[in-house]
Chain A
Amino acid sequence: MLAITENHNQAFSGSVRHFAYWYSDCLLGESRRLFVTPPLRPKPITKISIPQLLELKLQSHFSNQRSVFKLLLPLLSFITALLVIGLSNSFGIIADPVASAAKPATQQLDVEKDELKFGFIKLTDCAPIVVAKEKGFFEDEGLQVEVIAQPNWKQLLDNVINGELDGAHMLSGQPIAATIGFGTKAHIVTAYTLDLNGNGITVSNDIWAKMVENDPELDTPTPKHPISAKALKPVVQEMLDEGKKLQMGMVFPVSTHNYEIRYWLASSGIHPGMYTSEDIKGFADAEVELSVTPPPQMPATMEAGTISSYCVGEPWNQQAVSKAIGVPVTTNYDIWKNNPEKVFGVTKAWADENPTTHVAVVKALMRAGKWLDETDESGKLVNREEACRLLAKPNYVGADFDVIKNSMTGFFYFQKSDKREMPDFNVFFKYQASYPWYSDGVWFLTQMRRWGQITEPKPAEWYDQTAKSVYMPSVYKAAAKMLLDEGHITEADVPWDTDGYRPATTDFIDGIEYDGKKPLEYLTKHTIGNKD
């Protein structure tokens, strides 16, 4: 039927236009659509007439007037949403007749906003967002999502704050720092932890050669791990004697990488420098200088000689190995086993305006996380290779498939000759990884205090309150409950009755115990850094 009408249309419309259409087709391919509208093209979604536009404006004007309603609105809409879901569920409306045989059905929430833009940085740990988009998990929730690469963490945060993006792949420290006002101030919240681990510290070949010289035990193709910074200390000292400071790169002042590389250095007695109210670069008392470089530029910056070591996420450590410009000495798995890495962050205002959308997004992300961590009976990760292929597309991470595959499929190359099994190098879902733990937030706060980013000593309650104002387990649990009902996850995947604090752990490179409920005591246990 359709074909006939189309032919009909073609036969009778102006031949000139069709010639132009055909000709531009030959020349430009699909991009001709910018110039000559082909027959029977669907209208763009965003088409809005002027009266409609005025109406929109008026509406927003009125809603400004009734600010009390505005406060109640999220609550009301959330309740209505739940009602609608309940009703539609009992009517069995949304069940998918085709898909239900193959996979459990998803109930679509009645979202406030269905076209969303998410930002990400070219790192493999953006995988849940990419997978949720490419595997159609977002679409299952009725969301049309655009995923846009951002040049650096600062701009990503700015774009989330100014509304250009709805949400983004963020460093765990970013929502916390923004909320307490270190750097750009804005209330950012998170309801989903994207992954654990996934970073490495790479040193240049030169530094590695010197480290090997200092510690002959390292002089094998497969040295014993974890490698501490002890072998690096003489190198730092030697440079200080020459009046130079070793230059190192990390990705952002409040990034996990900054705290990890500081932890690694300080645990071997190297002072990484303090932030003070005057010294916002964090160079006070420093024996090595840590400066900010965006992740994708790390290998190139090291090649250029500006820095001689860096701490960054994947694939930029594997890139150093494959280009033979450096040696990854340790991963953050060795510095702190199963440490929180990236979160999915949105502004508080957005979360308040779109509570149901937030739940829908977290649902899709949880399914993506679960998919990424799926294993067969032998414990082999089954979906990672497909995920790597998705990430290797130029509009996502874009690095070579082989390079991404190196760390994502449970292996890590420390040198070309040193391939090790690291099944937990990227954890997306198991160990209840994706839950927004308060204790993670408190750890970042203690590190911010330790290195002087928080300039004043704070009481223990402040740590708890701040963490609670940033992490939103309620949204996570709402999403998890729905997924459990739909059969996508199991009861054990989610800590239903937790108070939000993980039990105390000593899984650090220096064996110091961390208990999220005792932040002040934790601070006193370290030798370098603020102790209150």
Chain B
Amino acid sequence: MPEQTRIEKIKYGLLKTIDVSGFKVFDPVVRLFFGEEPQKQVKDITRYMLMPILFVCCCLVIWNFVAPRHKTKSGEVPTPEQVWSALKVNDTLHNRENEKESDFTLSDKERDERIKEVEILIAKKEEESKKLKEDLTTIDAEVTKKKDESLAPLKAKYTELKAAHKEARAERAAEAQKMADAVAEKKSGTEDLLTLLRQSNKTKELEKEKEQVVKDQIAKINDDKPKVLQNAKMASDSVATEVQHLKKRLDYLTSGNRSMKVGKAKESATTALTKLESAQSSAEILAAAKTVVKSEERADKIAKQEYPRASTIWFQMWRSLFTVFIGFMMAAVVAIPVGIMCGLNRVAMACLTPIISIFKPVSPVVWLLIFQIVVGAFFPNPETHPFFLFLNSLPIVGRLNSNPALIFSACTVAMCALWPALVNTALGVSSVENDHINVAKVLRLGLWSRLTKIIIPSSLPLVFAGLRISLGVGWMVLIAAEALSSSEGLGKYVWDQYQNGSSLTFANILLACFVIGIIGFILDRIMIVLQRAVSFDDGAATV
């Protein structure tokens, strides 16, 4: 029946897609959906889907349990919930930049409306902030009071202890003095004095320990920050920051607004123009004319101005992706031809072997420093360098603000990603079946057709396997390179967060860890799809 075949077609199409994209786990779901051997599929689903999900949940629960119990000097290890809220905070920061950008570019009626909106918001938030601040002061006072109450007896105990110990120390000193006198007068031996001193040193240590115990208790109470206070602080802080943000927005809507600035410049141009018309002497005319031109130029310039965005995690993510793409492309462009050459010619292989074996294990950090010096020499004045002007004038890429640091990072990625691709290509080319080569010989194919018709097609699966490893290595290397070269990107994000040392630092670093991991995973999947698309057999890697 035609209908059935169509369903079959959809089914096998889906199965093929799943297979090619490497998501074989979903295979039983599709089969179950089409009613094929339900029992087997349900078993497979429980085994290969539900169990992993359960396991991941288990990990999350363990994480959630362990994290708050491990105290570090920079605070507790963040729980999954805190990492999630860090994501939200980062997203807010990103959205705030968006808001400011849109405020900056608004004009006319829309701007007036927006001003009203923001003003209302400010009034509301300021009220809230005031209330929260009051709450905070009352809570703070309460907490300090409580703290003082519990500290008072301890402090008294400490002073008491110290006074007692001081007295005891003085007594011992007097005794020692007495004994020393006795020794001097030859009334007794030195032995007693020595034991006394030894004893007194030991007691001193003990006394110190006692004091330390009380001191530690005091410090512990001092260190203790009750959750109520912390929460109140955080709430008041976040609203205050929001108020500041809104005020900045108002700035961008009024005096800092692009259309306003353009208007001002144009206005001054018109005033200058009237001045020019009424001017009498040649000097006046010249001066007025110059001002007109200047104001016009300024108006044009301002009209083209864009909002200077602060970099946020999502911007940095796109920039990292762009960098790794450039680096990966550079690696592929070098590795594939050189690899083919090595695969075809044993002498070439022998020549390159020492170079490959020496440079392959070099750390990306070293490469980065080398590239900073070597490649840096090509960009003596990066801002006016044609290459960067060109890159930054491109439609999508232009927004990423390419600079030399990006190129250094990309070169480092390329240098480290080069080797797996090169070695795999060489291997792929050299392991083309002899039969195929013989056929080519019999057909008397030229070098070019031999390359394009036989060698490259049959080595493609291995080439792509190499490229896949390269991309993985490149992505890993990139993060380190960005951190070191301070090229805007996820690497710099992590490094900045570490340097900030704020209470959100740890959660943000964990967040970056997940973002980097997920992107790496997606990149890998893309490479798998490509690899599968060029393979003739099913034997290529799946995971």
Residue B41 CB within 8 A of the other chain: no
Residue A319 CB within 8 A of the other chain: yes
- Is the pair B381, A163 in contact by a Cβ cutoff of 8 Å? yes
- Is the pair A29, B404 in contact by a Cβ cutoff of 8 Å? no
Residue B537 CB within 8 A of the other chain: no
- Is the pair A34, B275 in contact by a Cβ cutoff of 8 Å? no
Cβ-neighbour of A163 out of B254, B382, B389 (below 8 A): B382
| With A91-B275, A114-B301 as contacts: A31 and B255 at CB distance below 8 Å | no
| With A319-B501, A398-B502 as contacts: A3 and B110 at CB distance below 8 Å | yes
As a 0/1 sequence over residues 1 to 41 of chain A, the CB contacts with chain B under 8 angstroms (1 = contact) are 11100000000000000000000000011110111010000
Residues of B within 8 A of A35 (CB): 396
Residue A459 CB within 8 A of the other chain: no
Residue A436 CB within 8 A of the other chain: no
| With A28-B314, A56-B384 as contacts: A394 and B500 at CB distance below 8 Å | yes
As a 0/1 sequence over residues 370 to 408 of chain A, the CB contacts with chain B under 8 angstroms (1 = contact) are 000000000000000010011011110111111100000
A-contacting residues, B459-498, CB 8 Å: 484, 486, 495-498
Q: In this complex, what residue of B is CB-closest to A133?
A: B308
| With A44-B306, A134-B248, A136-B256 as contacts: A416 and B223 at CB distance below 8 Å | yes
- Is the pair A45, B502 in contact by a Cβ cutoff of 8 Å? no
Cβ-neighbour of B271 out of A56, A91, A294, A392 (below 8 A): A91
- Is the pair B496, A149 in contact by a Cβ cutoff of 8 Å? yes
Q: In this complex, what residue of A is CB-closest to B105?
A: A42
- Is the pair B107, A2 in contact by a Cβ cutoff of 8 Å? yes
Residue A285 CB within 8 A of the other chain: no
- Is the pair A31, B315 in contact by a Cβ cutoff of 8 Å? yes
Cβ-neighbour of A53 out of B73, B244, B308, B386 (below 8 A): B386
Residue A96 CB within 8 A of the other chain: yes
Residue B251 CB within 8 A of the other chain: yes
Complex CA distance for A114 and B310, rounded to whole angstroms: 18
Question: What is the minimal beta-carbon distance from A356 to any residue of chain B, in angstroms?
Answer: 13
- Is the pair A96, B306 in contact by a Cβ cutoff of 8 Å? no
- Is the pair B256, A400 in contact by a Cβ cutoff of 8 Å? no
Q: In this complex, what residue of A is CB-closest to B275?
A: A91
Stretch at the interface among A137-145, A267-275, A332-340, A421-429: A137-145
Cβ-neighbour of B386 out of A1, A57, A151, A296 (below 8 A): A57
- Is the pair B495, A151 in contact by a Cβ cutoff of 8 Å? yes
Residue B98 CB within 8 A of the other chain: yes
- Is the pair B93, A29 in contact by a Cβ cutoff of 8 Å? no
Residue A492 CB within 8 A of the other chain: no
Residue A66 CB within 8 A of the other chain: no
A-contacting residues, B36-54, CB 8 Å: none
Residue A60 CB within 8 A of the other chain: yes
Question: What is the minimal beta-carbon distance from B75 to any residue of chain A, in angstroms?
Answer: 8
| With A134-B248, A398-B496 as contacts: A146 and B223 at CB distance below 8 Å | no
Complex CA distance for A46 and B402, rounded to whole angstroms: 12
Residue A286 CB within 8 A of the other chain: no
Residues of B within 8 A of A392 (CB): 241, 502
Residues of B within 8 A of A88 (CB): 268, 291
B-contacting residues, A324-367, CB 8 Å: 324-325
| With A28-B314, A37-B395, A136-B251 as contacts: A144 and B305 at CB distance below 8 Å | yes
Cβ-neighbour of B399 out of A44, A94, A162 (below 8 A): A44
- Is the pair A84, B223 in contact by a Cβ cutoff of 8 Å? no
Residues of B within 8 A of A294 (CB): 499
Question: What is the minimal beta-carbon distance from B409 to any residue of chain A, in angstroms?
Answer: 13
Residues of B within 8 A of A83 (CB): 287
Question: What is the minimal beta-carbon distance from A248 to any residue of chain B, in angstroms?
Answer: 20
- Is the pair A48, B486 in contact by a Cβ cutoff of 8 Å? no
A-contacting residues, B340-357, CB 8 Å: none
- Is the pair A31, B318 in contact by a Cβ cutoff of 8 Å? yes
Residue A297 CB within 8 A of the other chain: yes
- Is the pair B308, A146 in contact by a Cβ cutoff of 8 Å? yes
26 interchain pairs, CB-CB under 8 A? A29-B91, A29-B94, A30-B95, A30-B101, A30-B314, A31-B317, A44-B306, A44-B398, A46-B389, A47-B398, A48-B389, A93-B271, A98-B254, A122-B499, A122-B500, A144-B305, A151-B484, A297-B499, A323-B74, A324-B219, A389-B240, A393-B310, A394-B93, A395-B496, A398-B501, A402-B233
A residues with a Cβ closer than 8 A to B are 1-3, 28-31, 33-35, 37, 42-49, 53, 56-57, 60, 83-84, 87-88, 91-94, 96, 98-99, 110, 114, 122, 134, 136, 139, 142, 144-146, 148-151, 155, 162-164, 294, 296-297, 299-300, 303, 316, 319, 323-325, 386, 389-390, 392-395, 397-403, 416-417
A46-B393, A49-B393, A91-B271 provided; 6 other pairs, C-beta below 8 A? A30-B94, A34-B400, A91-B288, A324-B73, A398-B496, A403-B502
